[in-house]
Amino acid sequence: MVHTPADLYTLTRDDWLSLERMGEKSVDNLLAALEASKRTSLKRFIYALGIRLVGEATARALALQFGTVEKLLAAGLTDLQAVRDVGPEVAQQIFDFTQTAENRDAVGRLLAAGVHPAPEIVQAAGPFPTRVVPLEPSTSDAWDQRFLSDAIELGNQLAARSQDRRDWEGLDELQRETVLSLTSLFVAGEEAGTKLNKAKELGVRIVDESAFRALLAERA
């Protein structure tokens, strides 16, 4: 009944009960564990794909670099070689895996089954008091690109993880909620939208552009 990992999520309770030595309690525990396994980190998801030469450290580096499964699948060889500690041989193995139709189909079926790999979050080790800094201007061009670039670069230097609108749009609702739950500082424009309301619900510290500029200057 199972030919790919995604098939595990399609089996019904009756399917499991039809197997030998599978009682009701065992089946209930198994179904609960399968449901819980849908909420995983992108690092663990990539590592579990079993790509040759990709260990846990490389999986984490890939998760930090690309942020979503979709971006990893779309990465070219040059993109992969730009990842820290990923050399030409490892990059080729990853590229060969992601460009194989069978593998892409297997990954797609896992996502369709409800598996939600959450973005990898960098725990801040530097003086900047945040782990994630969503940057949300009023409109796509309300903040000048120089400010956005400087803010993201400084945040990265100080071991924070910054996300602008483009990063955010690549996440599904569950991933967005996960990011917000791990956010320490939200930089909001005048019309930041629904995620600003969610940030308020979660008690995230919210600042406007001028306050964030002041904070950047202070931390720099």
What is the per-residue pLDDT across 31-80, written as a single tens digit (0 to 9) for each? 999 998 998 889 999 999 999 999 988 998 898 888 889 999 999 999 99
SS3 sequence, the chain? Answer: CCCCHHHHHCCCHHHHHCCCCCCHHHHHHHHHHHHHHCEEEHHHHHHHCCCCCCCHHHHHHHHHHHCCHHHHHHCCHHHHHCCCCCCHHHHHHHHHHHCCHHHHHHHHHHHHCCCEEECCCCCCCCCCCCCEEEEECCCCCCCCHHHHHHHHHHHHHCCCEEECHHHHHCCCHHHHHHHHHCCCEEEECCCCCHHHHHHHHCCCEEECHHHHHHHHHHHC
Residue where one domain finishes, among candidates 118, 147, 181: 118
Question: Are 186 and 212 found together in one domain?
Answer: yes
pLDDT of residue 211: 80
What is the residue range of 139's domain? 132-219
Q: Are residues 144 and 214 in the same domain?
A: yes
Domain boundary among 68, 90, 118: 118
The CATH number linked to 193 is: 3.40.50.10190
Residues 10-23, mean pLDDT to the nearest whole number: 95
**Higher local confidence (pLDDT), 145 or 204:** 204
Q: Could you tell me if 113 and 141 lie in one domain? A: no
Same domain, 90 and 155: no
What's the pLDDT score for residue 205? 82
pLDDT confidence of residue 179: 67
Q: Number of folded domains in the chain?
A: 3
Same domain, 50 and 32: no
Same domain, 137 and 214: yes
pTM of the model as a whole: 0.58
- Same-domain pairing of 91 and 14: no
> Looking at the structure, do residues 22 and 44 belong to the same domain, yes or no?
no
The answer to which of 22-26, 145-149, 181-185 has the lowest mean pLDDT is 145-149
Last residue in a domain, options 72, 94, 118:
118
| CATH classification at residue 51 | 1.10.150.20
Residues 161 and 215 in one domain: yes
* Over residues 17-44, mean pLDDT: 93
